[in-house]
Amino acid sequence: MTEKFDAIVVGAGPSGNAAAYTMAKAGLKVLQIERGEYPGSKNVQGAILYADALEKIIPDFREDAPLERHIIEQRLWMLDDQSYMGTHYRSDKFNEERPNRYTIIRAQIDKWFSKKVKEAGALVICETTVTDLLKDAAGKVIGVRTDRENGDIFADVVVLCDGVNSLLAQRAGFRAELKPEHVALAVKEMHFLPRDVIDERFNVKGEEGVVIEIAGTVTSGMVGTAFIYTNGESLAVGIGCLVSDFKKTGETPYALLERFKNHPSIAPLLKGSEVKEYAAHLIPEGGYKAIPKVYGDGWMICGDAGQFVNALHREGSNMAMTTGRLAAETVMALKEAGKPMTDANLAAYRRSLEESFVIKDLKKYKDLPEFLHKNTQFFSDYPNLLSKAAETWFRVDGIDKKTKEGQMVRGFVKARGWRGLLGDAVKLARAWR
Ligand code: FAD
């Protein structure tokens, strides 16, 4: 294939599909290359779809996208070994005409999105791996090399949407190797249950769904979280921790997941389910400080490849779609103005990222990854202390409430000391700003 494209998009995850769709829809000549057998075949997600990001690309996506349930209730749980304490927010306002969040099955939604990309006019080829970037004598990216025979293909710009590892960006020297403390390893299972059992267990009906985000001793003091999401006829159950912590502790993700599933507060939710799928995947969690330069002469980086994940809020796919769309819009504006895809011109992509929620949110939490890495008491001491305090408070045993208050405070002070407690509060507030 020797023809030249306006843009080549590598990868058919949310960032690649957003970029390819947006450019193809605007009439650009786009080639998208995916190594998987079909889009979605290699991808793993919880998965929550944030409607706003997709709506900005395909406004009427609700008409035919494969959606599982819309979320009406968010639970945040803190687990110690025997109990959980937490908050639930449930609102009938989320039963709106255009719901804000949905559970989805990634393989299905990627396939659907890819169909839209093709309908918009892009050429999509699967089962093809991009092995390298082609550069001219001045170092400008001018195309890609694939693992197909005569597999060099040329374009004005190459948009790298190849996911967390992005070996292409690494090989080309655009990005450093991932640091173990900047990436989490997550494992996930699909537990199948009849729809009416899920409805009853989670107190929902029809298309309503529930999200449970969980932290605490279940990650054995490692930085990480777990989740349970309700699909139509299955539950997505997963847990993930920083790779550096797995290395340090020798824990295995599988053992962690087993422990989580057998927790006395979790096991009843999964009882009787049939596990049909098991998957593992990396999540970039280095945050703002880990974002590499995301553009240069003839290239751009979107989604996980650029570390665009807000781990605290569990937002990744929306950042992937938004960065893909903004990269595409940058290319479209340059094409329209007849300008070349140079480093100086593509800098407009970074500027539009700065103006969007993507960089604003990641910047807000810029110190959080390092803070959590260095303060694992939030995943060990505090869940135990909070649970003990709650147990003391709620147990009616003839001890007066003032004495109980004293016991609760002494529990915290004994474990962390006054200075430790104050220091933790100040550090947490600073990281949160
Ligand atoms: P990917 O989805 O990883 O897509 C990259 C694509 O590129 C893949 O299809 C891959 O096959 C292809 N590719 C890679 N290299 C090449 C190559 N050399 N040549 C050709 N093709 C290539 N986000 C949320 O918003 N909500 C959630 O609930 C959520 N839950 C998650 C739960 C888990 C367990 C995990 C692991 C992630 C979760 N995320 C969630 C994050 C979200 O999945 C990612 O942020 C998102 O998938 C990133 O999209 P992407 O397009 O950048 O990369």
User: Are residues 305 and 192 located together in one domain of the fold?
Assistant: no
User: Are residues 35 and 138 located together in one domain of the fold?
Assistant: yes
Pocket test for ligand 1, best of 32, 38, 45 (most atoms within 8 A of CB): 45
Tokens of 432: 């949160």
SS3 sequence of 36-75:
CCCCCCCCCCCCEEEHHHHHCCCCCHHHCCCEEEEEEEEE
Range of the domain at 270: 181-284
CB atoms within 10 A of CB 170: 15
Give the 3-state secondary structure of residue 85. strand
Say if CB 147 and CB 128 are below 8 A apart: yes
Please give the number of the atom of ligand 1 that sits closest to the Cα of 317. 25
Domain boundary among 284, 309, 325: 284
User: Are residues 201 and 172 located together in one domain of the fold?
Assistant: no
The residue whose CA is least distant from atom 26 of ligand 1 is: 48
Domain membership of residue 89 (yes or no) is no
Residue 187 CA to residue 169 CA, distance in Å, equals: 25
User: Are residues 233 and 277 located together in one domain of the fold?
Assistant: yes
Domain membership of residue 314 (yes or no) is yes
One-letter amino acid at 148 equals R
> How many folded domains does the chain comprise?
3
Helix or strand holding residue 214 (H, E): strand 208-216
The residue whose CA is least distant from atom 38 of ligand 1 is: 45
User: Are residues 340 and 424 located together in one domain of the fold?
Assistant: no
Domain membership of residue 344 (yes or no) is yes
pLDDT in tens, the chain (433 residues): 567 999 999 999 999 999 999 999 999 999 999 999 988 887 777 889 999 999 999 999 999 999 999 999 999 999 999 999 999 999 999 999 999 999 999 999 999 999 999 999 999 999 999 999 999 999 999 999 999 988 999 999 999 999 999 999 999 999 999 999 999 999 999 999 999 999 999 999 999 999 999 999 999 889 999 999 999 999 999 999 999 999 999 999 999 999 999 999 999 999 999 998 899 999 999 999 999 999 999 999 999 999 999 999 999 999 999 999 999 999 999 999 999 999 999 999 999 999 999 999 999 999 888 888 888 888 888 989 999 999 999 999 999 999 999 999 999 999 999 999 999 999 888 888 7
Pocket of ligand 1 (CB under 6 A): 10-16, 33-36, 42-48, 50, 129-130, 161-163, 168, 186, 188, 238, 281, 283, 303-305, 309, 314-318, 320
